[in-house]
Chain A
Amino acid sequence: GGIITQTPKFLIGQEGQKLTLKCQQNFNHDTMYWYRQDSGKGLRLIYYSITENDLQKGDLSEGYDASREKKSSFSLTVTSAQKNEMAVFLCASSRQISNERLFFGHGTKLSVL
């Protein structure tokens, strides 16, 4: 078995601040993902990475940067936090990009004051 660890669990930021979320997996999976979850809107893909040092934009990449410097870790940066923004960011991994189950972390809950 393996685990996906997201840090921090809760993140409170100020408007305009740059915020970084981190994700680690010990499955030895090639592919990692960042999703944003808003109430009633399901899971929207922000960035994904097929392998180490690869980055692919998802449907919601504007306002975010990502980095995959190691196979086991994938970080997401909110480049400029928006006032009153509140969402849960979910990290996931899978063996490959297609036709494989995803394993999710517990999420990072972001609140912007």
Chain B
Amino acid sequence: QQQVRQSPQSLTVWEGETAILNCSYEDSTFNYFPWYQQFPGEGPALLISIRSVSDKKEDGRFTIFFNKREKKLSLHITDSQPGDSATYFCAASGGSGGNYKPTFGKGTSLVVHP
């Protein structure tokens, strides 16, 4: 059973466009949702995160929109740059019944063309 799902699997945008990465989850007790960015040959690194008490979190060009009722969230990358080309993982934690450990989605591979 996949607890955290991401879509699309891969996404290509042009420089300057807005990239939208989607994530959904099943356990309604999850309450912490970090997004990690991974470049080839490196480990993932925290990009931005949100807690379930908020519906939006912004950090520069990166914004998370969170819909608790629908158990969905999305990462918007505005004015996309070639340097944003990476794999993005949505994760969730804080649930009950053993789901307190972080659970990751399968990732979205983003390519930004100049």
Contact = CB atoms under 8 A, between A and B. Distances in A.
Interface string A4-48: 100000000000000000000000000001010000111101001
A53 to B, nearest CB: 18
A102 B42 contact: no
A104 B45 contact: yes
B94 A45 contact: no
B101 A106 contact: no
Given A43-B89, A104-B43, A98 B101 contact: yes
Contacts of B28: none
Interface in B24-45: 31-32, 34, 36, 41-45
A81 interface: no
Given A104-B44, A105-B43, A106-B41, A99 B105 contact: no
Interface of B: 9, 31-32, 34, 36, 41-46, 49, 51, 89, 91, 93-94, 100-107
Contacts of B101: 45, 48, 56, 58, 97-98
16 contacts: A33-B102, A42-B105, A42-B106, A42-B107, A43-B89, A45-B101, A45-B103, A56-B101, A92-B43, A98-B100, A99-B31, A102-B34, A102-B46, A102-B91, A106-B41, A107-B41
Contacts of B32: 98-100
Contact of B42 (A45, A48, A56, A106): A106
Given A42-B89, A43-B89, A101 B46 contact: yes
A35 B114 CA distance: 33
A97 B100 contact: yes
Given A42-B107, A43-B89, A102 B102 contact: yes
B44 A101 contact: no
B73 to A, nearest CB: 16
A55 to B, nearest CB: 13
